[in-house]
């Protein structure tokens, strides 16, 4: 039957032209159909304030709720940082939470079973508690070493956990607290594999390992340099501030191997070879110091440029090795890097590892005061002052070398140098923005250091429009670094203790707390933490329960844990919203580890690849494994989503935002807070009455959080209140300066102290942007002390006056006798610029009135890091682990201290020029897309997002496509010594072939989000990568590796592995390939 058309007089266009609505914004646009439509928000009965669970921009959400169910999620226009905007992922959060791909019930895979079975939640919880208790007892270590070398470790080495960056701070807190009490040290999360290099790089340079600024402050920049970040696609909502700056006249530069939307919106795009940023940045440093283009007054007063270094220090010259390198240990003894006349501790990085050395140098009979005072040369002429050392170190980093090493033409490089210099100084500021393009290298932490040095030289730290903006990737990856589900730190970046010969609380703080600055108050922060965890059991007589903490004996990163799984040491493993079978380097090694476990717990929304490898992983497909042969017992617990629980995320600008619960989780779905709390209760019930000393930390743990509802959900507010801190009168403390080392205060994370000040949840504050200043200081709460721009004392000159009217932020008001301005001063509010500490002053009192870097042991920004890094005091260019190019700046090809792992499934490629190297001639870099999220667990199961980006692809230049006969939209196979994958080919000018040292080097680009499960499926790019790590941050190198590419799909079945083995055989790859220091 032919449908009846409405009469022409009823057509909208006719009604528009004939009626009284010529603009067609009213009645003319209405129809019978539109009359039946109404917005999903129309009949909502309330709006719940929430936060996007994807990246670390932390866009604020309005969740519309009707009858207890979310019906719509939109951006909150009141938010100062996101201004109501959302990216495709944020816009899809309703589908993320209400979609049908989420699991509702506990699933259980028995050893050797071929499929899942249902298990009730209580039984599953009991089974996991039983296994933890039993495995802990079986694998318990009291000591390592023997006889006089024996060191107490008190730990459970057969248990490990991974994940937390997608969780709330309160959830991470309970994970760290319970597992540490159980003696588990192998606790890690996404922060290790994403931004751990940032923490080391920024922390050693400035005193804190987090972004110094916030995206909203980029609007004040005169120059924004985005390097190692595709901000327009990876953090699009924050990128609005770059566009804001551009609209105000700022210049935007993008430096990256891969042309992207960020490049398209930049004024200048600089393509460079992946893995060469230190050569590029080092050459800019050389340009600045050799031409005296620095901001000299800032440099002299606020950096360690005048500080004299010990005579025994030897720079990494032509050979590329600093003094102190031990080839046997593949590492440095950093003693010779220290200041002359002093022995200082770093604020981040390698801290307690170096603690023993400092103890020898610093304690002595006079106590820590004998660490001494650095010797300064304000003329900068002393040959051993940092300025002169820096000048010599970078002298060979010339424009010619930039062209040879990075592939950047000299005139383009000089243009960038001029932009830096012309946009820095009293009147102008430059900001750096970086992402994981900088961090994920075998020398990633030094990439961040290089940028930090440049910002210090040019006087861009602590000032509006300046700073280093680290764009972090998960909703609370900053939070999971601050309250660390990480092996090497305790909450607030207190170092996790290593096993030392003399091992008590006093020795620890003497070794690790510097004499000067706010880290000098570490005893107050640490005692308050131990009181929060062990309450009445932490007494002065019992050394504050310091002995309850398990001890480290080296590195226990997630990659070390994988090796321990493969070796059979680790038997029980828990995953909290992390998918290592896709997201960690060398995906096959991850599966080899998990296949060797006794039991595995996976908590997630859907059945991610790390939960199902035993039935459908690549080794099953190839026939290498049979499911029936695999003994690992697997528990899958469905997780509650962000709108189904309360808590805080800490975003990339250190801002804690509370998200409220909008709806209840269903069936077996539970929050991680619920899981950890009830798991802890069950474990404590099993240990009740034990008189075994190993159980005391568990039984003495403060674990009585109030609960609500039928599920007995623990109160996230109560957990946050404990984190924030309280005193003996039960008052919620306002600031970390109120913490004491006498047992009268408790505080779970000293840098979060004040988040619950006065009994008010400061993180839930939501004063609309239009009702406050641009800093947004009344929206949520930022650590530390709600400061939005760190080191802002440096926005004023030594006398306390703004460097310029245009760039003023905080300044000294002599009449009021305090620091005032737009932001909370990152300085003692009433300390005058002219204050000079008495000789016996310690801690904060030892900071002068013009020491802006208040966490540093000398109050200064570190151009040269005398401690804290494992790769030398100054960034040095080394080639990536797998590179087709020889190092032209130093004889040392690779970072000599990098961490590598010997295993047949983790082979490395031959050195360039050696036989077999030509089999892997192309540089591969990886990145992420706007529509997907990290390892895909929150996007490949979401239909909108899966449809937007359905397939894995590889970007190749037209030149390379011609060479390798690759057809656009056809298939290609990529091969490394680790694995072989397939992807659709995208032939595009976005990948630029570069002329490197007289020959053309081709680069490939691939997003890394795919795996075998979900709606959008594809091979995991991490099948190609190796486990080769930065020794300071223990991060993997996945931003620059080498591969071969060939047309066509990869082989199926056993032929896939055979292809990889054939490549290895033809390249002559063995256990010794590529492993020389």
Partner 1 sequence: MPTRAEVLELLERGDTYGAVGQAFGIAPGKAYMIATGRPADGAPDGDQALVNPRAHNPTEKPAVVAWVRERAPRELTRPEPS
Cβ(588)–Cβ(1056) under 8 Å?
no
49/909 with CB nearer partner 1: 49
692/742 with CB nearer partner 1: 742
84/921 with CB nearer partner 1: 84
Written as six digits, the tokens of 288 are 């600045």
305/739 with CB nearer partner 1: 739
Written as six digits, the tokens of 483 are 């309250």
714/872 with CB nearer partner 1: 714
Residue 480 CB, nearest approach to partner 1 (Å): 23
336/539 with CB nearer partner 1: 539
Cβ(828)–Cβ(784) under 8 Å?
no
Burial of 503 (0-12, 13-18, 19+ CB in 10 A): middle
Written as six digits, the tokens of 978 are 């680790």
> CA-to-CA distance for 261 and 241, rounded, in angstroms?
15
Residue 706 CB, nearest approach to partner 1 (Å): 5
> CA-to-CA distance for 634 and 113, rounded, in angstroms?
10
Please enumerate in sequence order all residues whose Cβ is within 8 A of that of 724, keeping only pairs 6 or more positions apart, or say none: 732, 733, 747, 748, 752, 753, 754, 755, 756, 757
Number of Cβ within a 10 Å radius of residue 67: 9
Beta strand 159-162 pairing with 186-188? parallel
Residue 177 CB, nearest approach to partner 1 (Å): 14
Residue 503 CB, nearest approach to partner 1 (Å): 24
Residue 1044 CB, nearest approach to partner 1 (Å): 52
| CA angle (754, 757, 762) in 5-degree steps | 85
Residue 684 CB, nearest approach to partner 1 (Å): 17
Residue 354 CB, nearest approach to partner 1 (Å): 33
Biggest CA pair distance of the chain = 102
Point out which residues pair with 722 in neighbouring strands: none
Q: Return the half-sphere exposure (C-beta side, CA atoms, 13 A cut-off) of residue 303.
A: 29
Residue 265 CB, nearest approach to partner 1 (Å): 24
Query: Scanning the structure block, which residue is given the tokens 């994940």?
Result: 163
Cβ(857)–Cβ(516) under 8 Å?
yes
715/992 with CB nearer partner 1: 715
> Interface with partner 1 by CB under 8 A: which residues?
41, 44-49, 62, 64, 76-78, 84, 531, 535-536, 539, 660, 702, 704, 706, 715, 717-718, 721-722, 726-730, 732, 740, 742-746, 756, 759-762, 764-766, 768
Cβ(453)–Cβ(199) under 8 Å?
no
Sign of the CA dihedral with 219 first, then 262, 275, and 950 last: positive
Residue 231 CB, nearest approach to partner 1 (Å): 25
Residue 171 CB, nearest approach to partner 1 (Å): 17
Residue 742 CB, nearest approach to partner 1 (Å): 6
348/527 with CB nearer partner 1: 527
DSSP 216: G
524/930 with CB nearer partner 1: 524
> CA-to-CA distance for 817 and 678, rounded, in angstroms?
51
| Residues comprising the chain, all counted | 1077
Query: Read out DSSP for 149-204?
Result: G-EEEEEETTEEEE--TTS-HHHHHHHHHHHHHHT--EEE-HHHHHTHHHHHHHHH
Written as six digits, the tokens of 431 are 């900001």
> CA-to-CA distance for 413 and 398, rounded, in angstroms?
10
Residue 939 CB, nearest approach to partner 1 (Å): 28
Phi/psi of residue 487, nearest 5 degrees: -75, -30
Residue 237 CB, nearest approach to partner 1 (Å): 16
535/958 with CB nearer partner 1: 535
628/704 with CB nearer partner 1: 704
Q: What is the 3-state secondary structure (H, E, C) of 296-327?
A: HHHHHHHECCCEEECCCCCCCCCCCCCCCEEC
Q: Return the half-sphere exposure (C-beta side, CA atoms, 13 A cut-off) of residue 818.
A: 9
Q: How far, in Å, are 275, 659, 774, 775, 807 from residue 464 at the CA level?
A: 30, 29, 11, 10, 6
709/730 with CB nearer partner 1: 730
214/532 with CB nearer partner 1: 532
Residue 726 CB, nearest approach to partner 1 (Å): 5
37/536 with CB nearer partner 1: 536
């Amino acid at each position: 039957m032919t449908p009846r058309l409405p009469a022409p007089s009823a057509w909208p266009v006719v009604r528009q032209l004939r009626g009284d609505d010529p603009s067609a914004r009213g009645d003319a646009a209405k129809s019978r159909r539109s009359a039946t439509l109404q917005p999903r928000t129309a009949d909502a009965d309330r709006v719940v304030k929430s936060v996007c669970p994807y990246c670390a921009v932390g866009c604020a959400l309005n969740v519309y709720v009707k009858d207890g169910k979310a019906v719509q999620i939109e951006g909150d226009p009141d938010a100062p940082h996101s201004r109501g905007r959302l990216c495709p992922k944020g816009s899809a959060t309703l589908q993320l939470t209400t979609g049908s791909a989420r699991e509702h019930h506990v699933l259980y895979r028995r050893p050797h079973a071929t499929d899942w079975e249902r298990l009730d939640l209580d039984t599953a919880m009991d089974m996991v508690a039983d296994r933890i208790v039993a495995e802990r007892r079986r694998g318990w270590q009291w000591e390592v070493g023997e006889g006089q070398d024996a060191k107490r470790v008190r730990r459970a080495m057969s248990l490990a956990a991974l994940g937390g960056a997608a969780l709330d701070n309160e959830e991470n807190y309970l994970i760290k607290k319970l597992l540490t009490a159980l003696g588990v040290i192998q606790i890690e999360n996404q922060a290790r594999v994403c931004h751990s290099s940032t923490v080391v790089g920024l922390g050693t340079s400035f005193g804190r390992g987090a972004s110094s600024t916030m995206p909203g402050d980029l609007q004040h920049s005169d120059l924004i340099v985005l390097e190692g970040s595709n901000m327009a696609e990876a953090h699009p909502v924050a990128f609005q501030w770059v566009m804001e700056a551009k609209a105000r006249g700022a210049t935007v530069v993008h430096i990256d191997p891969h042309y992207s939307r960020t490049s398209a919106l930049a004024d200048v795009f600089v393509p460079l070879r992946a893995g060469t940023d230190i050569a590029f940045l080092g050459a800019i440093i050389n340009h600045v110091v050799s031409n005296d283009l620095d901001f000299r007054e800032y440099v002299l007063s606020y950096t360690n440029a005048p500080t004299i270094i010990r005579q025994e220090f030897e720079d990494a010259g032509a050979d590329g090795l600093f003094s102190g390198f031990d080839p046997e240990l593949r590492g440095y003894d950093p003693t010779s890097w220290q200041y002359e006349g002093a022995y200082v501790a770093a604020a981040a990085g390698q801290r307690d590892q170096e603690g023993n050395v400092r103890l020898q140098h610093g304690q002595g009979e006079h106590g820590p005061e004998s660490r001494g005072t650095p010797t300064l040369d304000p003329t900068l002429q002393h040959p051993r002052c940092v300025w002169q050392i820096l000048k010599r170190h970078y002298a060979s980093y010339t424009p010619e070398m930039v062209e040879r090493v990075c592939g950047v033409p000299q005139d383009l490089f000089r243009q960038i140098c001029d932009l830096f210099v012309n946009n820095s100084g009293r009147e102008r500021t430059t900001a750096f923005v970086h992402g994981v393009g900088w961090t994920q290298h075998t020398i990633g932490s030094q990439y961040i250091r290089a940028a930090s040095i440049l910002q210090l030289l040019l006087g861009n730290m602590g000032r509006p429009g300046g700073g280093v903006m680290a764009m972090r990737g998960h909703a609370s990856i900053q939070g999971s670094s601050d309250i660390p589900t990480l092996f090497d730190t305790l909450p607030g970046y207190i170092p996790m203790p290593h096993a030392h010969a003399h091992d008590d609380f006093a020795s620890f703080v003497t070794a690790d707390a510097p004499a000067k600055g706010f880290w000098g108050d570490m005893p107050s922060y640490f005692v308050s933490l131990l009181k929060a965890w062990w309450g009445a059991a932490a007494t002065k007589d019992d050394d504050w329960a310091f002995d309850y903490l398990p001890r480290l004996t080296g590195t226990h990163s997630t990659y070390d844990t994988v090796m321990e799984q493969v070796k059979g040491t680790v038997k029980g493993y828990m995953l909290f919203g992390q998918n290592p079978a896709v997201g960690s380097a060398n995906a096959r090694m991850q599966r080899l580890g998990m296949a060797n476990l006794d039991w595995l717990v996976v908590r997630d929304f859907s059945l991610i690849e790390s939960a199902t490898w035993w039935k459908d992983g690549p080794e099953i497909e190839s026939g290498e494994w049979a499911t029936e042969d695999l003994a690992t017992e697997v528990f899958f617990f469905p997780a509650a989503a962000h709108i189904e629980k309360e808590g805080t995320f800490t975003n990339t600008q250190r801002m804690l935002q509370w998200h409220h619960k909008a709806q209840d989780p269903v069936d077996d779905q539970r929050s991680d807070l619920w899981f950890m709390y009830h798991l802890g209760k069950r474990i404590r019930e099993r240990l009740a009455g034990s008189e075994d000393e190993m159980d005391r930390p568990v039984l003495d743990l403060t674990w009585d959080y109030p609960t609500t509802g039928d599920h007995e959900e623990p109160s996230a507010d109560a957990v946050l209140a404990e984190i924030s801190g309280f005193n003996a009168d039960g008052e919620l403390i306002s600031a970390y300066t109120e913490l004491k080392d006498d047992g009268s205060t408790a505080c779970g994370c000293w840098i979060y102290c004040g988040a619950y000040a006065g009994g008010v949840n400061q993180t839930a504050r939501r004063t609309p942007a239009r009702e406050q200043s641009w800093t947004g200081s009344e929206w949520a709460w930022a650590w530390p002390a709600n400061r939005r721009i760190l080191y802002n004392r440096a926005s004023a000159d030594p006398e306390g006056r703004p460097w310029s009217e245009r760039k003023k932020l905080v300044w000294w008001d002599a009449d009021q006798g305090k620091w005032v301005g737009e932001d909370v001063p990152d300085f003692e509010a009433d300390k005058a610029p002219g204050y000079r500490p008495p000789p016996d002053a310690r801690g904060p009192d030892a900071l002068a009135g013009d020491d802006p870097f208040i966490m540093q042991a000398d109050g200064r920004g570190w151009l040269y890091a005398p401690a804290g890094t494992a790769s030398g005091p100054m960034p040095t260019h080394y080639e990536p682990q797998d590179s087709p190019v020889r190092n032209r700046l130093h004889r040392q090809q690779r970072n000599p201290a990098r961490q590598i792992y010997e295993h047949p499934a983790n082979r490395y490629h031959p050195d360039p020029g050696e036989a077999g190297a030509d089999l892997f001639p192309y540089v591969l870099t990886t990145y992420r897309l706007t529509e997907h999220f990290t390892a895909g667990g929150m996007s490949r199961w979401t239909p909108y997002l899966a449809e937007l980006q359905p397939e894995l692809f590889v970007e190749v230049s037209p030149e390379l496509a011609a060479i390798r006969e690759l057809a656009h939209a056809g298939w290609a196979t990529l091969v490394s010594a680790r694995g072989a994958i397939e992807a659709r080919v995208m032939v595009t000018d976005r990948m630029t072939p570069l002329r490197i040292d007289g020959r053309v080097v081709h680069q490939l680009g691939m997003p890394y989000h795919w795996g075998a499960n979900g709606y959008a499926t594809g091979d995991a790019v991490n099948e190609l990568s190796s486990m080769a790590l930065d020794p300071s941050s223990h991060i993997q190198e996945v931003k620059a590796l080498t591969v071969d590419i060939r047309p066509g799909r990869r082989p199926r079945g056993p032929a896939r592995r055979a292809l990889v083995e054939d490549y290895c055989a033809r390249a002559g790859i063995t256990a010794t390939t590529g492993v020389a220091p």
